[in-house]
Chains A and B, each alone.
Chain A
Amino acid sequence: MKKEKLKEELKLEETKDGTLIFQKGEFYHVMEKVRENFPYLSFITAIHFPKDKGFEVVYAFRNIEESEIILLKTKIKEGEKLSSLYKYYKGADWMEREIYDLFGIEFENHPDLRRIVLPEDWEGHPLRKDYPINRAPLKYDYRKKPLLRREI
């Protein structure tokens, strides 16, 4: 099992559900080893914890030959930057842009960090728990616009 090997080699903690936890500081040290054993990046996602004012960023990797999946996660505080995975996985480009767009987490050394889903000048990050759900920012508020009618 490559996961057990990685866990011993890097001395990582493991949660009950089998997710490995690593510290933000040793990012490149960990990811270099992961790249050797798991060549395919499945997805990156994040979870917002408004009470702790922090995020958990979750990475999922696959080894297709051995049909093995590994989950890694790290905790960061609001406003802190995380290193970019682009160096090891080119596919991380858009995934990190999406995280930046919807959560507002910035990635260092990313080649082109800008919004991917929402318009460039959108205010706020919608997947944060404290984002107002029932109201669009004023610039895009089409609710107050009158209906357009036309006669032939």
Chain B
Amino acid sequence: MGINIKPEEIYYSPLFNKLECYMEKFPGGGLILTTTKKLFAWSRKSSLWPLTFGLACCAIEMMAAYASRYDLDRFGVITRASPRQSDVIIVSGTVTAKMAERIKRLYSQMPNPKWVIAMGSCAISGDFYRNVYSVVPGVDRVIPVDIYVPGCPPTPEGLIEGIRKLQQKIMEGVKK
């Protein structure tokens, strides 16, 4: 309303510091003055919903990570049974030529923004099935991958680390 003040000036003003003491803080700023981008990124990383999707033995470790001992619910990771409701697809296992078409379709059915975790050596590079006639050597030939979790199979701790890294990547992706 006619007042020309840059956001930074408010942020560093003594008035703001006083206000800040009484406000609940969102990461990256006060309640009012955080950027929407940062707010959205924070909410996205806090509720990463993966697609219920498993391919091979890595899926067993993935299920163990969802279950009570490791409990991925702590990070807001709750599986959804529909690609329309999910944000992240965890490719856990060997990708065959026939499955590649299905993965591509599932990925394109997911709404933006969406992320991909390649779990295990087979999803990363094909591992020792690399030269088998029906195997795709790495899922990144089909869909773009954000996080690679190595291992054969990776432990649930490894997968949790991968998810934490993805959360970090989502927050870092926002320009400061």
Q: Which of A23-31, A46-54, A141-149 contacts B (4 or more CB under 8 A)?
A: A141-149
The complex places the Cα of A140 from the Cα of B133 at a distance, in Å, of 9
User: Which chain B residues in 140-160 approach chain A with CB under 8 Å?
Assistant: 140-146
The complex places the Cα of A132 from the Cα of B133 at a distance, in Å, of 8
Q: Which of A118, A119, A133, A148 contacts B141 (CB 8 A)?
A: A148
B133 pairs with A142, CB closer than 8 A: no
Q: Which residues of A contact B134 (CB under 8 A)?
A: 118, 126, 136, 140
> Contacts A134-B131, A136-B133, A142-B100 known; A147 to B140 CB distance under 8 Å?
yes
* Closest CB in chain A relative to B98 CB, distance in Å: 5
Q: Which residues of A contact B141 (CB under 8 A)?
A: 142-143, 145-148
Q: Does B83 contact A (CB under 8 A)?
A: no
B98 pairs with A152, CB closer than 8 A: no
Q: Does B173 contact A (CB under 8 A)?
A: yes
Q: Does A16 contact B (CB under 8 A)?
A: no
B-contact bits for A123-144, CB 8 A (1 contact / 0 none): 0001000011111110010110
Q: Which of B98, B144, B173 contacts A149 (CB 8 A)?
A: B144
Q: Does A150 contact B (CB under 8 A)?
A: yes
Interface residues on A, range: 20 to 34
Q: Which of A119, A142, A146 contacts B98 (CB 8 A)?
A: A119
Q: Which B residue sits closest to A152, measured CB to CB?
A: B173
Q: Which residues of B contact A117 (CB under 8 A)?
A: 98
B138 pairs with A147, CB closer than 8 A: yes
Q: Which residues of A contact B146 (CB under 8 A)?
A: 150, 152
Which 9 A-B residue pairs are closest in the complex by CB-CB distance?
A: A152-B173, A150-B144, A148-B144, A140-B97, A142-B141, A145-B141, A142-B136, A147-B140, A119-B98
Using a CB–CB cutoff of 8 Å, the interface residues on chain A facing chain B are: 117-119, 126, 131-137, 140, 142-143, 145-150, 152
What are 24 A-B pairs at a CB distance below 8 A?
A117-B98, A118-B97, A118-B98, A118-B134, A119-B98, A119-B101, A126-B133, A126-B134, A133-B133, A135-B133, A137-B133, A140-B134, A142-B100, A142-B136, A142-B142, A143-B137, A147-B138, A148-B141, A148-B143, A148-B144, A149-B144, A150-B144, A152-B146, A152-B169
